[in-house]
């Protein structure tokens, strides 16, 4: 199952904000991690792990040596990750199926990446080299993902709404928490102060259409 949680542009103490992530601890009883983003003191990833594959190197956020600028937190299962790996001759660093997201993104960008995934998933992908944040969810919304974002660029995402409702932000006393749309991905610009600005929300697949990976 696993639980993902991330903040961008927090104006409150991260050690206090991270307490909200513990509200989804039931999603990952085996391990948990909080990790700050290099160069952005107000950005953080949180992950609660249910260890199914690669108990040694399967912790998140997933980062591989080949792409030190990419950070990935995801929940789900990518059914065709081995097929994609063999087709493009990617060299994996872990046995985690979600690693394919990093390789596909580096090869062809976010649109090609998400259209090539056969599976159920929700993810947060950070590209510090190009100052971008990407959110994505599978066609039917099998894997949950919730989002809260303020007008001044504070962004919080989580597998469950309960991990967001107690967050604090000076400009907005009560955060509006909404489910992220199934079958969509969102592109956001990451600013030097750690806050974000939404660039576009894209519906990448309709359930009646033949998927690209087919």
| Residues with a known catalytic role | 2
Beta pairing class for 155-158 and 196-203: unpaired
- What's phi and psi for 108, nearest 5 deg? -135, 5
Q: Where are the strands (E) in the chain, listed by range?
A: 3-8, 31-37, 40-49, 70-78, 119-127, 132-137, 146-149, 155-158, 177-179, 184-190, 196-203
Round to the nearest angstrom and report the end-to-end CA distance of the chain.
26
* CA gap 109, 127 in Å, rounded: 11
- Could you tell me the two tokens for 89? 């001759």
């Amino acid at each position: 199952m696993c639980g993902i949680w991330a903040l961008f542009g927090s104006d409150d103490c991260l050690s206090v904000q991270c307490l909200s992530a513990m509200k989804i601890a039931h999603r990952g009883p085996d391990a948990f991690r909080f990790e700050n983003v290099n160069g952005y003191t107000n950005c953080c990833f949180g992950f609660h792990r249910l260890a199914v594959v690669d108990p040694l190197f399967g912790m998140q956020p997933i980062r591989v040596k080949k792409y030190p600028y990419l950070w990935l937190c995801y929940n789900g299962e990518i059914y065709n990750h081995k097929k994609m790996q063999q087709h493009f001759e990617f060299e994996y660093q872990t046995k985690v199926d979600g690693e394919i997201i990093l390789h596909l993104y580096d090869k062809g960008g976010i649109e090609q990446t998400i259209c090539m995934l056969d599976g159920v998933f929700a993810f947060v992908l950070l590209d510090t080299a190009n100052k971008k944040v990407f959110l994505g969810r599978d066609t039917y919304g099998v894997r949950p993902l919730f989002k809260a974002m303020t007008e001044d660029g504070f962004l919080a995402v989580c597998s469950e709404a309960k991990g967001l409702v107690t967050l604090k932000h000076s400009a907005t006393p009560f955060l509006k928490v909404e489910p992220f749309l199934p079958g969509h991905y969102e592109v956001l610009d990451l600013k030097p102060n750690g806050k974000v600005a939404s660039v576009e929300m894209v519906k990448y697949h309709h359930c009646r259409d033949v998927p690209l990976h087919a």
